[in-house]
Structure 1
Amino acid sequence: MRNNKLNMLASGATFLGLVSTITMAQADALTFNFHSGLTESRPEAEHIDAFATLVEEKSGGELKIDVYHAGALGLKEADVLRSLQRGMIDMALLYGEYYTRDAPALASVYAQGAITEADQHLDILPVIKEMYDDGFAKWDIHTVGGVVAPVFDVGLHCKEPVDSLEDLEGKKVRVWSRHLVETFDELGIAAQVIPQNDMYMALQTGVVDCAYYLSTVAKTVSLHEVTEYESYLHPWAAAPWIFGISEQSLGRLDDNQRQALEEAGQEIWARTRDLAVDAEREALARKERESLGITVLSPFSDEDMDTFVAAAWKAWKDMAENAGEDGLYYYNNVTEALSE
């Protein structure tokens, strides 16, 4: 009887010890919030969720990332740098061109017209990442990989046949940034920034005649319903999405948790880099647009592309100069690497 009691006591002590160990492990586990302004329907969202899953797996459950898509934390993109710097949020998906109020130089890291061949994007990525790392570090933000955006075709989507800069003269063009307005202005072509959500109506009502847009995903915004022609101009200089963590939050991690975070970020970066350039994807998307009734014209000539690139680089340099010393530093480093 006495032995049975001793065995019961020993078993109870073992159980309590196990419960205590589990409780301590749970207490040591951290959960970080992660802001993303992108909706869950965007392909980038899948990669962010994959990043969160990898972090939990690699840390043995010691670190969890709760991703809040579509700005569910109530944070405005313009305020992201300040919020991370103050430790108000743990992590965020960062996109350099969003922060023109607080860090205008970050918009000078990369610009449309920077590349003329898709493979150039892969060659220049390490330099681009280095520039972003430098820029975000000034805001006490540490970067841990990110999502390399696909390099889509960029074209002119018009209601009438347009496949040259000459054809664009007298036309009104929709663009997505001030840099592009200044690029087309340099070419003597009228352009204006129109948000993506308003682009369909602007074409339908004649506010603009053409849309400068990512041809590969033109179907998703129904451009085939309000335009009949498209012509390829150049590959998209796709600025990557960066995973950023507040230095304050980073300081709460132990070595295992930090290693898990770094490895997961780099794994997603490598995975998306391998998917970024895909000629077959572009060809299939082009055929699909033709099946929707779009007439795909000949691409803009090499001469026209060179003229556009020269104007884009001039506008890019002007933008960098206006951003100050940091803007010129980023511009000079990236353009020097592109020129090698």
Structure 2
Amino acid sequence: MKLRTTFHTLAALLLAAALTPAAQAQERIKFKAIGQPLATGLIQKNKEQPFFENFGARTGLPIDVDYKPVDTLGIKDTEQLRIMKAGLFDLVSLRIAQNTRDEPTLLGLDLVGASPDYATARKVASAYFDTIDKRLQQQFNVKLMGLWPFGPQVLFCKKPITKLADVKGMKVRVYDQSLAKFIEMVGGTPVPVGFADTHQALSLGVVDCAITGASSANSAGWPEVSTHQMPIGFQMALNGYAMTMKSWNALKPDQQAKLKAAFDKQTEEVWKYSEELFQDALNCNTNKDPCTTGKKFKLVNVPVSPADLELVRGAVTKVSFPAWAEVCDKSNPGCSQQWKTTVGPAIGMK
């Protein structure tokens, strides 16, 4: 009898041991993620949200993500790094410009005039990626997983303009210090306004002009409260994906490799989609075809002159880099020199 009992006990232990790996395999990891604002439009809706909501399938890992756009959480998009450092979320779709006050080094990704087109922006993102990743890990315990663009940030006005100099004396919505300095240089008055509040600001006359991506403006209805569109790219509105080092380090090396590969694929898709959206949105905003991704409006399209293009490109050396370098070097000694040796060669700046 005792032998039989021992046998059954042993069999039960063996069965439990055999089942344990299977049980462990079924255990799923839960991540919480902050997304881009709903108001930013199609990249958030068609690329980002599906990626996070199908995270397990996209990564090949047993991970489920609770994804919430930042404007549904009751927190400010300027607080993302602080919230990540506190460990309240695992993943974030990082609003680069909005978090530059907490980490000025970030702004080196998107200085006014440095990325006038997609090809140049890719070079900048690639050249500066490791610098940003290292800084975020040191200061916020956050790892950079990828960089992607909303697209060229262009000018919308509710007053007639024919050239950049026409914004002299006008109030212009801006979203970071680099852009603010440039608007001051051309005689305008920069007014920091959150993206979600800009439609109302234009409508009420709080600002005369505003800067954002063509597709985001279309999605948010800015052409309802403006009359002119000038498709000159001040910046590329680079954004990123990041995760806490705690969550990253909890994964095995092979899981980390799969995760990074998934983010690489995701960001590549967004780069391509952003470029498609940009041209289509310019058409939609000015009532032209093809217009397949947005709503048609009747803005006046203001041609970009060679002089204005040169004015923006020259802003890097004249305004945006010097102003940023002073601020960045105070919080991160050697910041500007690091930028010169990484990004400088990528954009032909000596």
TM-score relative to the length of structure 1: 0.79
Q: Which residue of 1 aligns with 2:200?
A: 201
For 1:115-130, what aligned pairs fall within 5 Å after superposition?
115-130=115-130
2:343 matched residue in structure 1: 334
Give the corresponding residue for 1:306: 310
Which of residues 305, 310, 319 in structure 1 aligns to 2:324? 319
Q: Is the 8 A contact 1:77 1:99 kept in 2?
A: yes
Alignment of 1:19-38 (within 5 A): 19-27=19-27, 29-36=28-35, 38=37
SS of 2:238 mapped into structure 1: coil
Note the C-alpha offset of 1:301: 0.9
Contact 1:148 1:269 in 2 (8 A): yes
- 1:251-262 alignment, distance < 5 Å: 251-262=249-260
SS at structure 2 position matched to 1:125:
helix
Change (3 A) 1:53 1:216: closer
Look up the match of 1:237.
236
1:148 equivalenced with 2:113 (yes/no) = no
Check whether the contact 1:109–1:327 (CA below 8 A) recurs between aligned residues. no
Is the alpha carbon distance of 1:65 and 1:178 closer, same or farther for their aligned partners in structure 2, counting shifts above 3 Å? same
Equivalenced residue count is 327
Q: Kindly provide the CA deviation profile for residues 279-331 of structure 1, in whole angstroms up to 9, marking residues without a partner as x.
A: xx434323322234524334231112212332354332212222212541454
**Paired-residue identity, %:** 20
Per the TM alignment, residue 164 of structure 1 is displaced from its structure 2 partner at its CA by: 0.8
Distance 1:194 1:92, change over 3 A: closer
| CA offset digits 1:181-217 (Å, max 9, x no partner) | 2112122223322223332333333333222332333
Q: Structure 1, residues 8-67: CA drift from partner, whole Å, max 9, x if none? A: xxx99998676544323335x432333335339652364354256354564453x44333
Give the distance between the partners of 1:215 and 1:104, measured in 2 at CA. 26
Question: Any unmatched runs of 5+ in structure 2?
Answer: 1-10, 288-295
Matches within 5 A, 1:174-323: 174-234=173-233, 236-246=235-245, 248-278=246-276, 281-291=277-287, 292-311=296-315, 313-317=317-321, 318-323=323-328
Is structure 2 residue 114 aligned with structure 1 residue 109?
A: no
C-alpha change, 1:48 and 1:265, in structure 2 (3 Å) is farther
Say which SS state the counterpart of residue 32 (structure 1) adopts: strand
Q: Is the 8 A contact 1:172 1:190 kept in 2?
A: yes
Residues 254/219 of structure 1: CA separation in 2 closer, same or farther (3 Å cut): closer
Q: 1:103 to 1:66 in 2, by over 3 A?
A: same
Counterpart residue type for residue 346 of structure 2: A
* Paired amino acid for 1:122: R
**SS in structure 1 opposite 2:139?**
coil
**Which residue matches 1:137?**
137
Separation in structure 1 between the aligned mates of residue 298 and residue 112 of structure 2, nearest angstrom? 24
Q: Are 2:55 and 2:65, in contact at CA under 8 Å, matched by a contact in 1? A: no
Q: Secondary structure of 1:143's match?
A: strand
Q: Is the contact between residue 56 and residue 64 of structure 1 (CA under 8 Å) also seen in structure 2?
A: no
Asked if the contact 1:35–1:71 (Cα under 8 Å) also holds between the matched residues in 2, the reply is no
Q: Which amino acid aligns with 1:157?
A: F
Matching residue's letter, 2:257? Q
Q: d(CA) in 1 for partners of 2:14 and 2:177?
A: 67
* TM-score normalized with structure 2 length: 0.77
Structure 2 distance, partners of 1:84, 1:114, is 29
Distance 1:224 1:139 in 2: 40
Contact 1:145 1:242 in 2 (8 A): yes
The superposition leaves residues 217-260 of structure 1 with CA deviations (integer Å, 9 ceiling, x where unpaired) of: 322222222222222222642213122232x2333222332232
Q: Within 5 Å, give how 1:26-175 maps onto structure 2.
A: 26-27=26-27, 29-36=28-35, 38-39=37-38, 43-44=43-44, 46-47=47-48, 49-51=50-52, 53-55=54-56, 58-61=59-62, 63-70=63-70, 77-85=77-85, 87-139=87-139, 141=141, 143=143, 145-146=145-146, 148-152=148-152, 154-175=153-174
Give the Cα separation in 1 of the matches to 2:305 and 2:256: 50
* Higher RCO (CA 8 Å, separation ≥ 6 residues): 1
Asked if the contact 1:96–1:132 (Cα under 8 Å) also holds between the matched residues in 2, the reply is no
3-state SS of paired residue (2:31): strand
SS for the counterpart of 2:313 is helix
For 1:37 and 1:295, how far apart are their aligned partners in 2? 27
Aligned-partner Cα distance in 2 for 1:16–1:176: 58
User: CA-atom RMSD, angstroms?
Assistant: 3.5
The farther-off stretch of 46-55 and 186-195 is: 46-55
Aligned counterpart, 2:6: none
Deviation at 1:160, TM superposition (A): 3.2
Gaps of 5+ in 1: 1-10
Aligned partner letter, 2:328: A
DSSP 3-state at the match of 1:234: coil
